Copies of this chain bind each other. A is one copy, B any other.
Amino acid sequence: MTGNTRFAASVHVLAYLAYKSGAQVTSAEIASSVDTNPVVIRRLLSALVNAQLVTGHKGVGGGFGLASAPANITLLDIYRAVEPQPDHGLDRFTPNHKCPVGARIETILRTAFLKAQTSMEAELACISLEDVHQQLKHVCTGKR
């Protein structure tokens, strides 16, 4: 186990919206696809609406839909919408500054982590929701 399921679930949510292209989809319907509680989905959608990846409407016939074409939404957009800025534990890592190593290691680690993070994000930026949508249609899972 590592990390939370927010990013995975959010990609699922947006993939589902792409799959239902254009329609207004309720949190209950999405929750059924993700197999979780509608409130959990609405929490994610709240962040996604905030990031302007999704639009939501209340009331009868309401629900959620993509705010942009799938080709214009990358996994990095989704990642940034629902994940806090990762720090690899640096905020809880408080070495002894009286030690020459402890005094300087944080700066060095910060630089290294930033490089790693930037590289990972660049990879996520290369994958669009449209790519995911295409794979959804063509991937043969070989399961069941």
Residues in A lying within 8 Å of B, measured CB to CB = 1-9, 11-12, 15-16, 19, 32-35, 75, 83-97, 99-105, 107-109, 112, 115-124, 126-127, 132, 135-136, 139, 141, 143-144
Contact = CB atoms under 8 A, between A and B. Distances in A.
Given A119-B123, A120-B120, A104 B1 contact: no
Contacts of A90: 5, 8
A35 B75 CA distance: 38
B5 A89 contact: yes
A100 B88 CA distance: 35
Nearest to A8: B93
Contacts of A33: 95-96, 99, 101-102
Contacts of A84: 1-2
Nearest to A105: B12
Contact of A3 (B86, B95, B112, B143): B86
Residue of A15, A119, A144 with most partner-chain B CB within 10 A: A119
Given A33-B102, A105-B136, A119-B120, A97 B144 contact: yes
Contacts of A141: 103-104, 107
A1 B92 contact: yes
Given A2-B84, A2-B89, A87-B2, A16 B116 contact: no
